[in-house]
Every structure is written in structure tokens, then in C-alpha cells.
Structure 1
Amino acid sequence: MTHLKIIVFTACVLFLSLAGCSTAPTGENAQAGQPGEKPGKKTASTPLPEQLAPDTFVVDTIGLIEERDRKEIEKTCAELSKERSAPIIVVTISSPSDHGGRSMSIADFAHMLYTKWGLGIPRRKGGPWNIGILLLVSRRERTARIELGSEWGARENDICAKILDRKIIPEFRKDEYSKGVREGVKAIAEMAR
């Protein structure tokens, strides 16, 4: 019986390798790159940090955010963190699958990242990080997720859904990712105040 399992397994591996299971883009995507990818932008993503350094508000692993927008986002996030101890952390990735979340939805990946980084734990600046906010952007999926700490309620969840629908995703559809993130962070900060 063990030999049969080995033969079946080997046959499956051989079939998959001969079937050309490649993740390389084909057809139109071979020349166009990933959705939302602008010429000159980084295509490879850098690894996510194991832990966030103090006062880190933007983790742009794919170079999606333009420098002027990044400065404005960091300023907005720093002000909110100082005023309310309610940090907004912005993370851009190519896809959850590039960071170990192969079968995860963006919602599951955002929750995992929020928990891994301890954003819901009171630990920095003496403030309650259970009011932390994570804005995760996935370029390949052309979507974003706002993960709120446990202290936020249904009202804030509804507001964040509207921010995604009205501020962030419409800009993504126009390939204006940096602008979408900037406008989203402004709206999230307003909600958090």
C-alpha cells in the first residue's frame, strides 16, 4: 500500500510539472505587469518586519506610495498617535501569498498581521493599542482592508466600510494607489478623532 501511495504521489508531481504550473504572467499580463503596476515601480516586495519599530506608521513593501504622499500620511498618523494614542499603520503588499498567506483572504491576513505586531496590546507610549488601526493594501488583488482594534465599535466599522468604498477603492480603480491610501488615511484619522 505504501508503494502505491508513493507511485500516485510521484505521478501527481510529474503531471503538475509537465502541465506547466507556472505563476509567470501570460498573454496581456506578460507585458502589462501586475494590475495597478506603474512603469518604474518596484515589482518585488520586501519582507514584512517581524515587529514594528516605534513610530513606524508606513510599511510600503512594494514602493506603492509616492514620497509626497508618504510624508503626508506619516504626519497624519503621527499626529493622531500623539493626540489619541490611536495609531494608524499603513502596509502595502503585492499579495498575501507573497508573505506566507497563500490561502488567506485579505481580511484574514490583515487580522493575522494586526495580531502578530501586537497592535491590539497596550504597550507603546503608555497608550491603549486596542484602538490601533491597520490599513492593508494588496496591489495584486486591487483591494484594501481596514482592521480595527477591539475598542472600536460597529459605528466605526461602518464608517471604515464607507471610507473603503468612497475614498480608497475608487482611486485604486484609476490606478491611483498612492492617492487612495493618502485620502483613506485622512478619512480614517477624522473618524478616529
Structure 2
Amino acid sequence: MRKIARLIIFGFLIFNVTNCKTVEKKKPNPNPPKVEFDSYYLGKSDFPEPKGFINDYELIFTPEEQVKLTNIIKEFEKKTSNQIAVVTIKSIGKYTDFDKYAVDLSDYWKIGQYNKDNGLTIILSKTLKKIRISTGNQTEHILTDEICMKILSDKIIPELKKGEYYNGIEIGLTELIKNWK
């Protein structure tokens, strides 16, 4: 009985081996067809990916200055749950309006807690000579456009004009935090 079972298995194997086809490997096409995607489809945007509290894409701040600014923001968030991001950029991509870019970047990064909308973003471009404070919907009830503009014109911009970018942002952050209670 075992011999018959072995013969059946052996015959089955021989039958399958003789019916196998050899598959030839094809050489890759040296001129593959080009596939084109538009930037929206790929999920690309004009916005850089957030790195943390300080997003210095223009390399304005020293590592020590970034740490100091981060500590100010972290301490404030710990006490209040309000979120702040500082962003430096060289370009606004396809945008033509810096203020629109700043608002859209803040929305895209979702600065502030979802259910509180308590975020604030400072977007600065040394190259473009522009700065904007963008607030979340709840934040703007406390830090109104008038307050933000006054802090920009009285505290931040005078320092920026002197080339003191870190001092301008630190003074501005301190003043915003003082008013955001």
C-alpha cells in the first residue's frame, strides 16, 4: 500500500515537473514611459514640514537661540495649553500674498489644540523682509489684530531693522505671552 502511495506521489511530481515552463527574466526597459503627476496629486505643498516650536528654515537663529525660544514657548504651553510656533522661510512658493501664506501655513500645520483653536504662529522672512503673526480663531479674541500689529511695530520690527532677529522674536514672544492671558 505504501509503495502505491509513493508511486502516485512520484508520478504526480514527475508530471508537474515536465509541465513547468521556464520563465525568462526580461531586461529592464532603458526608456521606461514617463509618469507625470501634478504637485497636488502627490500631496506636495508650498509649506515645509514642521520641526517643532522653532522652525528656522532660513537659518537665522543659532542653536542656542533656538533652545532659548523653545524653552519660552514650552513653558508657556505647559502653563496655558496655548501653542506657539515660530517659522522663518526664504520663499512663499507659488503664493503671491505673504499674509495669506502665513494664515494658510498656520492652518495647514494646525497650530493650536483642535477643540480650543488656541494657536499662534509667527512667520518671518528675512529674505522677503516680511513678518506676520497669525492667530487661531479663539486666540484672536484675546490677541486682536490691533494688539498684534502694535507688538510688531513697537517691539519686533525695530529689532529686525537693526538685524537683531533673535532679540526681536524674543521680545515679541514675551509681549505676546504677557497679553495672552
TM-score band (shorter)? 0.5 to 0.7
After TM superposition, the score normalised by the length of structure 1 is 0.63
Quick check: 1:131 aligned with 2:127? no
Structure 2 counterpart of 1:8:
none
Equivalent-residue separation in structure 2 for 1:101 and 1:112 (angstroms): 13
After TM superposition, the score normalised by the length of structure 2 is 0.67
- 1:4-32 Cα distance to aligned partner (Å, 9 max, x none): xxxxxxxxxxxxxxxxxxxxxxxxxxxxx
Structure 2 counterpart of 1:107:
99
What RMSD over aligned residues (CA atoms) do the two structures have, in Å?
A: 1.9
- Which amino acid letter does the alignment assign opposite residue 62 of structure 1? E
Match of 1:169 among 148, 157, 161: 157
Equivalent-residue separation in structure 1 for 2:108 and 2:142 (angstroms): 25
Structure 2 counterpart of 1:159:
147
- Give the superposition deviation at 1:145: 0.4
Q: Equivalent residue of 2:143, what SS?
A: helix
Contact persistence 2:122–2:134 (CA under 8 A): yes
Within 5 Å, give how 1:61-76 maps onto structure 2: 61-76=57-72
- Which amino acid letter does the alignment assign opposite residue 152 of structure 1? T
- Based on CA coordinates, which of the two structures has the bigger radius of gyration? 2
- 1:122-161 Cα distance to aligned partner (Å, 9 max, x none): 1xxxx73x11000000112222100011012455222211
More RCO (CA 8 Å, sep 6+): 1
Structure 2 counterpart of 1:185:
173
- 1:40-71 Cα distance to aligned partner (Å, 9 max, x none): xxxxxxx721xx46xx2110001101233222
Equivalences, count: 134
Contact persistence 1:106–1:138 (CA under 8 A): no
Quick check: 1:116 aligned with 2:104? no
What stretches of structure 1 move > 4 A for 4+ residues in a row? none
Match of 2:82 among 82, 86, 91: 86
Equivalent-residue separation in structure 1 for 2:87 and 2:140 (angstroms): 22
Match of 1:77 among 65, 73, 79: 73
Equivalent-residue separation in structure 2 for 1:101 and 1:162 (angstroms): 29
- Give the superposition deviation at 1:120: 4.8
Q: Equivalent residue of 1:91, what SS?
A: strand
